[in-house]
């Protein structure tokens, strides 16, 4: 499946006094990219939530590689790093969309949560179509195709 990077144009309010992006914004951009990723694969967050499944965040990390400034467009490339029936790890590579210069790299961990039962759930059983799709994307990434 061909996925496109999520594009984010840096807004003035996301910067500090030197027009450099405040570090906390990268985490927000990762969430925006995750939502876009789900839309691209045909399983919007709304669709999953309406089916009773949430993707609870267990951890998030971000390594800053170079400064991002006001007015830049950042391309955020995502991949499914690891996947088990109960959880997944996503990776993010944020680059300047024009130059390709690496700005930041991050990860986010998630477990699959059944709202009705108020407990973790095996996605493989709860939403087998989504499970197969994520598994396929994970395999493509392991083979260097994403």
| Domain membership flag for residue 21 | yes
Number of domains in the chain: 1
| Domain membership flag for residue 143 | no
| Domain membership flag for residue 111 | yes
Helix (H, G, I), strand (E, B), or coil: what is residue 12? Answer: helix
Mean pLDDT of 121-128: 97
| Domain membership flag for residue 145 | no
| Domain membership flag for residue 144 | no
Dump pLDDT digits (tens) for 57-109: 999 999 999 999 999 999 999 999 999 999 999 999 999 999 999 999 999 99
More confident residue, 49 or 1: 49
Q: Which domain holds residue 30?
A: 6-138
More confident residue, 16 or 141: 16
What is the C-alpha to C-alpha distance for residues 84 and 116, in angstroms, rounded to an integer?
21
| Domain membership flag for residue 146 | no
CATH number of residue 34's parent domain: 3.10.129.10
| Domain membership flag for residue 71 | yes
Q: Which residues of 66-88 are buried (b: 16+ CB within 10 A; e: fewer)?
A: eebebebebbbbbbbbebeeebb
């Amino acid at each position: 499946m061909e996925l496109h990077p999520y594009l984010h144009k840096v807004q003035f309010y996301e910067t500090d006094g030197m027009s450099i992006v405040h570090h906390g914004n990268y985490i927000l951009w990762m969430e925006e990219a995750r939502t876009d990723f789900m839309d691209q694969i045909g399983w919007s967050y709304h669709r999953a939530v309406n089916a009773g499944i949430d993707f609870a965040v267990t951890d998030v990390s971000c390594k800053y590689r170079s400064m991002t400034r006001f007015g830049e467009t950042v391309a955020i490339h995502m991949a499914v790093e690891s996947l088990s029936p109960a959880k997944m790890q996503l990776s993010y590579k944020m680059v300047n969309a024009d130059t390709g210069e690496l700005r930041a790299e991050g990860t986010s961990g998630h477990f699959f949560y059944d709202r009705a039962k108020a407990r973790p759930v095996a996605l493989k059983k709860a939403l087998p179509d989504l499970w197969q799709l994520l598994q396929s994307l994970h395999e493509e990434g392991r083979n260097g195709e994403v």
